[in-house]
Amino acid sequence: RERASCLSEEDIAMAHPGECSSCDLGCSGLWDPVCGTDGVTYSNLCQLEIASCLGGDVSLAHEGPC
C-alpha cells in the first residue's frame, strides 16, 4: 500500500479489509424504486443490480415499488 501511494504520488486509504468486490457499482442515493422478481423493493435499479451481482437470483419485475 505504501509503495503504491509513493509510486502514484497520491494518498491511498484502505476502504475495508479483504478483497474488493466487483459488485460495487457506485450507486447513487436516488430514490427511484424498482421491484425485483424476489418481491423486494429496491431504492433504484443500481441497488437491484448489486443484489443480483452478489449472487441473488433477482431481476427487474417492474418499475415502482412492489
The proportion of the chain whose per-residue pLDDT surpasses 90, expressed as a percent, equals 52
Looking at the 3D structure of the chain, how many domains does it have?
1
Taking the C-alpha atoms of residue 57 and residue 20, their distance in angstroms, rounded to an integer, is 21
42 confidence band (pLDDT: 50, 70, 90): very high
Return phi, psi of residue 41, to 5°: -85, 120
Residues 6+ apart with CB under 8 A from 55: none
Taking the C-alpha atoms of residue 63 and residue 60, their distance in angstroms, rounded to an integer, is 8
Choice between 25 and 34, residue whose per-residue pLDDT is larger: 34
- What pLDDT is stored for residue 6 in this prediction? 56
- For the domain that residue 37 is a member of, what is the CATH number? 3.30.60.30
Q: Please report, to the nearest 10 degrees, the dihedral formed by the alpha carbons of residues 18, 29, 27, 40 taken in order.
A: 90
29-56 average pLDDT score: 94
23 confidence band (pLDDT: 50, 70, 90): confident
DSSP symbol at 21: P
Q: Give the structural domain span for 8.
A: 2-63
